[in-house]
Amino acid sequence: MRFNKKKFIYLISPNKITKYFYKHLAAVLKSKKVSFFQLRLKNDSFKKKIIIGKKVKKICKRYQTKFLINDDVLLAKKLNTDGCHLGQKDMSILKARKIFKNKIIGITCHNSIRLAKIAEENKADYLAFGAFYSSKTKKTKFRANLNLLKKIKKITKTPIVVIGGINSNNYKKLLLNKANFLAISGYIWNNKKLKPTEAIKKLK
């Protein structure tokens, strides 16, 4: 999986998609800092997710951003996205690979080197760790830290995605410790001080 150092953001959708979202998404992707966009929708019907997903796919294609679906391999296959992200309680990587063939499959490893080693044996395309900082987007049971990141980087060449409360004040520490991608949601979409395009400008 190739990646561009300037495109270090792994952007996750807000929990609720409003009619203004698509315009904001296009403006944010235009910044050329986003490698991946993950659609994470927990409360919408499959039909509604298809409608939203088709619109998002067009925008991602226009700005050369990989489009991933959270949790739902069958939705990802139906939309023919670039990949899918799996949590530990979702479908196994091996089963997902049978359905989704040579697409990108990433997996949540929380703060566990053991889970990372299993994911690597199963040929995950990236490993996601966190939460590094406290997040309002998602309740976090697991906490990760920079020591864990350093240990992981010594034992794997698989790209690392870090997640959890990342913003303009703390993101550089993670990049300096060789995180490949920063998964960000709330800082962009639910920022009380900055519009999405202003927020992304602060991540240089």
Whole-number mean pLDDT of the chain? Answer: 94
Percent of the chain with pLDDT over 90: 89
Q: What is the pLDDT of residue 4?
A: 61
> Are β-strands 104-110 and 9-12 bridged in parallel, bridged antiparallel, or unpaired?
unpaired
Q: Report pLDDT digits (tens) over 23-32.
A: 999 999 999 9
Query: pLDDT tens across 68-87, in order?
Result: 999 999 999 999 999 999 99
Q: What is the pLDDT of residue 67?
A: 98
pLDDT value, residue 7 = 93
pLDDT on residue 78? 97
Q: What is the mean pLDDT of residues 90-109?
A: 95
Q: Has domain 9-201 been given CATH number 3.20.20.70?
A: yes
Residue-wise pLDDT tens digits, 52-72? 999 999 999 999 999 999 999
Q: Does residue 12 carry a pLDDT above 60?
A: yes
pTM here? 0.95
Residue 138 pLDDT exceeds 70: no
- How far is residue 174's CA from residue 164's CA, in Å, rounded to a whole number? 11
Q: Is it the case that residue 2 has pLDDT exceeding 60?
A: no
pLDDT, greater one: 138 or 3: 138
Query: In the chain, what are the domain boundaries?
Result: 9-201
Give the pLDDT confidence score for residue 184 in this predicted structure: 98
Whether the per-residue pLDDT at 3 is higher than 80: the answer is: no
Confidence of residue 145 (pLDDT cuts 50, 70, 90): very high
Residues 6 or more apart whose Cβ sits within 8 Å of residue 23: none
Q: How far apart are CA 85 and CA 81, in angstroms?
A: 11
- CA–CA distance from 4 to each of 12, 34, 100 (Å)? 18, 10, 24
The residues, any chain, with a CB within 8 Å of residue 20's CB and separated by 6 or more, are none
Range 187-201 average pLDDT:
97
Q: Indicate if the pLDDT at residue 48 is higher than 90.
A: yes
